[in-house]
Every structure is written in C-alpha cells, then in structure tokens.
Amino acid sequence: MTQNSKITYEIERIFSQKRKNALEKSEILTNELLSNESYLLAYNKYNSTRFELSKAKFKGDVKLINELKARLNADAELLITIKRELGFNDKDFAVKYECSACSDTGRLESGVRCKCYRKLLHKLTLEELGLERKKLHSFKKASYKDLNDLEKIYTKMQSYCEKFPATDKNIVIAGSVGTGKSYLAKCIANELISRDFNVVFISACELNSILLKYHTAPVDDKGVYLDLLTECDLLVIDDLGSEPIYKNVTEEYLLMIITERMTKGNPFIITTNLEQEQLLDRYGDRTLSRLNDKRHGVFIKIKGEDLRRKRK
C-alpha cells in the first residue's frame, strides 16, 4: 500500500528520533563508565592488547598470539569486575529500542512493516484527518445476535475479517434505525484494527466535513485528504445519508473516493438507513451502481426490530 508523503516523512522522523534516543541513553552510560579512572585504564589496556594481537596475527607469530589471547581474556575479565564493582553489567549498555522486533526501524529483517509501524500509521492517519479514535465493539461481546438474523451475518463478517486483506469485497449494510448496522461495522473495524490494519472508521457527517475541507483546500494540500481516505486498508463510512448535502461536494467527492478505492482494490464498508430509491435520489446513479456492484461487493439488508429499545 502506498501512502501520503507527509505521513511517510513524519513516520520516518519519529523512528529516527526513537533510534537516536535509544543510542543516546546507551552513550550516556558508556561515558559515565569511562569517567571512572580505574575503568578507563583497564579499557585502554584492553584495546592496546587487541591491537597487539592484530599485529601478531598479521605476522603469524603463533606463540605471541596465544600469549596475547590469554592476556586479552584477563583484560576482559578485569573490565567485567570493575563494571560489577561500579554497579553495572553488560546488559545495561545494550541499546534498548522501544520496539525490539525492528530496532525502531519500522521494518523487520524480512522487509515487512513491523506492527509498531502500522500502529503509528493508523494513529497519524486519524490525527491528520482530525478524527478521534472511536470506541468500537467486539464480535465476542456482541449482544442480540439471536435477533434480526444477526447470527448468520456476524459469522459471515467474521469470515470476511479472517480473509482480510485477501478479499477486496466492499460491503454495504442497509436497514432501518437500530437494527445493528453500526454495531456490526464497528465489530469489523475493531477486529481489523486489532490485527494492525489501518482502518478509518468515520461517520458520514465527519466525512462530509473533511470533503468540504478538501474542496476549499489549496491545490497542494488536496492530496493529503484524498490519499488518506483512498489508501487506508479499510474505509468504514457509518450512517450514510445522515449528513447534509453540500453542493458540488457531497455527491461528487463521495463518488470520487468510492471509485478511487475500487480502482486500487482497497475495500470500503458503508452503513445506511436509506432504501435504494433514496440512495439514487441523494447520490445519483453512478454512486448507486458502484454500491450495488456484485462483482466487487455485497449488499446486506438487515431487517427486524430496533435493538436500541431493548437496552436498559
């Protein structure tokens, strides 16, 4: 997945600072140790022996090599003894990175992005969009699955999460108020975020505000908003149809984002209370056609009672 250059720069800056901090902490301890006269003398003696040993190896003097190796071991033991007397051990001087898996580089040895990188990417994406992290729900703690045929739907959506990101299927969840659409979408988002995917869960009203910023932003800044909305692993738009319609903004840019994500193979999930005709009237036939595209998506209609009335 590509990402916005501004976010990339900030991530690299943060990781660079983390590595610098880790090295500085180690250097401070090393300098503190070297400020001790006894240790400094032993340290210089150890390095002098190492240098002599290198020269002996170059000359091939076997007898001298063996003598210097024994002396080097003795010098090393003396360093360890002085460290202990001063209250230190070798582990104290090891560079302690915040993330031991990637040593604060953001990538594992295999080249795959580390979990810490993906978590930071998600955090910065929300911050750049001006979004707070939502309180999401869990499949395991979901209530009323025995109503509105939710048990079957939840099973399918859990399977969707297990296959992610191998699937590029888009999901539209429709139904009347309180049937469990948003709860289900939050469960999906929560499951994927827990697996370190960059999921943007956004209400239709929040999205509308961002699209208005995009519309009025200078040309050089427009790409920031568009990239973050189209390149995240999953975009969840909750309660589509509840937002006000801004002329030349709402319909046009929603279509642009949906189309762009479909082109890139980045899925989206949308929840809405609107019926097909209402979606058509509000967003136009091109948007509705993409929402109903069976080759790339699934349209789920939840029927039944308002589950909110059952909450105490």
Read off the pLDDT of each residue in 232-256 and give the average, rounded to a whole number. Answer: 96
What average pLDDT does this structure show over 200-222?
92
pLDDT at position 178 is 84
Two tokens, residue 55: 């020269």
Q: Is 312 a residue whose pLDDT tops 60?
A: no
pLDDT interval class at 311 (50, 70, 90): low
pLDDT of residue 310: 64
Q: What is the pLDDT of residues 5-64, one digit of tens each?
A: 789 999 999 999 999 999 998 888 889 888 999 999 999 999 999 999 999 999 999 999
Q: Can you give the pLDDT at residue 3? A: 52
Query: What average pLDDT does the segment 219-248 reach?
Result: 92
268 within 8 A of 141, measured Cβ to Cβ: no
112-121: average pLDDT: 95
CA angle at 89 for the pair 87 and 91, rounded to the nearest 5°: 135
Those residues whose C-beta lies under 8 Å from the C-beta of residue 287, and which sit 6 or more positions away, are 251, 254, 255, 258, 279
156-171: buried (b, 16+ CB within 10 Å) or exposed (e) per residue?
A: ebeebbeebeeeeebb
Whether 204 contacts 237, CB under 8 Å: yes
Residues 6+ apart with CB under 8 A from 155: none
> What does the pLDDT read at residue 4?
63
Condensed to tens digits (0 to 9), the pLDDT of residues 65-83 reads 999 999 999 999 999 999 8
Residue 238 is predicted with a pLDDT of: 97
| Mean pLDDT, residues 268-293 | 96
Predicted confidence band at 2 (pLDDT cuts at 50, 70, 90)? very low
Residue 255, token pair as written in the block:
């279509």
Closest CA to 130 of 15, 213, 217: 213
pLDDT at 192: 97
Mean pLDDT of the chain: 91
For residue 299, give the H/E element and its range: strand 297-302
Among 102-116, 190-204, 209-223, 256-270, the range scoring the smallest mean pLDDT is: 209-223
- The predicted model gives 229-244 an average pLDDT of 96
In percent, the amount of the chain with pLDDT more than 70 equals 96
Cα-based torsion angle of the residue sequence 298, 302, 308, 312 in order, rounded to the nearest 10 degrees: -100
pLDDT reading at 92 higher than 90:
no
Mean pLDDT of 188-206: 96
pLDDT value of residue 167: 83
In order of their start, the domains of the chain are 132-310 (3.40.50.300)
